[in-house]
Amino acid sequence: MFDLLRKSLATGIVTSDYPDAPPAVAPNSRGRPVIDYHHWKDARPAAAVCPTGAIACTETTTERTVTLDLGRCIFCGLCAEADPVIRMTPACELATRHRAHLRQTARYRLRPDGTHGELIAGPPSSPPQPPPDATGQQLRDRIHQVLGRSLHIREVDAGSCNGCEIEVVALNNPVYDLERFGIHFVASPRHADLLLVTGTVTRNLELALRKTYEAMPTPRLVVAVGACGCSGGIFGRNYASLGGVDQVLPVDVYIPGCPPNPHALLHGILVAIGRLQPHSASPTTGSGPEV
């Protein structure tokens, strides 16, 4: 026991300063893909290699609309290998309250050979905001008042590969230390304020997920974790899968990633209870509009 105490004292404090400091992630870790829309000559190679359809094209004889859906993106980097105007970044704070904010679109005029000509419209500088909803704002204020300083989480794996679960488990280790925020995982949904759902919702677990949600006291929150939770991810919607969590339950916050790292999970949970503002997934300035 004394050896453990000596080792602990020698190691010192290892807990991350996040969110007071930026997330400490490796510079070569894979997060949000960034596209230089002004210099994008052809979206088809990236769309062809994307395993989840996160990059998709629709076109007429004269125009092409390209969509990047971060809710589908598994951050595999295949698009960046196929097209030099796409690069992978370590950005992980992508949680948002609105599914539409994870989608970016750009429109191009087409040349006769099918490559991009003029950029007609790029992604907006900030995601569009929904019209004011007094009831929704009152509910968010109430949630922040009731849950802002303490939170109990029930986690449900609705059909994941267990990649997200590994990152969720890490939230309780000394580096991320979720409990310093007054946030705890609980075994019973009757004690939970927030339902953290990982994986695409399989048809076999749909009923269990609904019953878990119905057993929670109000006010209650639902957070969809990972590409599977946001959209169905690599599994999509098929005979065994219903797709994303919002196909079954109302979702308050979406956390994209495959899997989202613990900083991304912390960001999403704190956004859900109103202790952090969601970061914009909108383009940044540089050589051209990016996302």
CATH assignment of the domain containing 213: 3.40.50.12280
Residue 81, domain member (yes or no): no
DSSP state letters, 163-231: HHHHHHHHTTSTTT-GGGGTEEE-S-GGG-SEEEEES--BTTTHHHHHHHHHHSPSS-EEEEEHHHHHH
Sequence-ordered list of residues with C-beta below 8 angstroms from that of 257, at least 6 positions apart, any chain:
31, 75, 92, 94, 226, 227, 264
Q: Which residue has the tokens 């009831």?
A: 135
Sequence-ordered list of residues with C-beta below 8 angstroms from that of 59, at least 6 positions apart, any chain:
65, 110
Q: Which residue has the tokens 């971060």?
A: 70
pLDDT of residue 285: 39
Instruction: Count the domains in the chain.
Output: 1
CA distances from 22 to 16, 19, 29, 50 (A): 10, 6, 15, 30
Residue 12, domain member (yes or no): no
Residue-number span of the structural domain to which 247 is assigned: 134-272
pLDDT of residue 123: 86
- pLDDT single digits (tens) 149-182: 678 999 999 999 999 999 999 999 999 999 988 8
Confirm if 104 and 123 have CB atoms less than 8 A apart: yes
Residue 187, domain member (yes or no): yes
Confirm if 242 and 206 have CB atoms less than 8 A apart: yes
Give the pair of three-digit tokens for residue 250: 């109302």
Nearest to 227 by CA among 161, 279, 274: 161
Residue 20, domain member (yes or no): no
Give the pair of three-digit tokens for residue 260: 């989202």
- pLDDT single digits (tens) 11-47: 677 888 888 888 988 888 899 999 999 999 999 999 9
pLDDT of residue 280: 53
pLDDT of residue 142: 58
pLDDT of residue 147: 62
pLDDT of residue 67: 96
DSSP helix/strand/coil, 233: coil
Low-confidence ranges of the chain (pLDDT < 70): 11, 125-149, 275-277, 279-291
pLDDT of residue 286: 40
pTM: 0.87
Residue 166, domain member (yes or no): yes
Residue 79, domain member (yes or no): no
Residue 88, domain member (yes or no): no
User: In this structure, what are the phi and psi dihedrals at residue 261, rounded to the nearest 5 degrees?
Assistant: -75, 170
Residue 118, domain member (yes or no): no
Q: Which residue has the tokens 């925020």?
A: 181
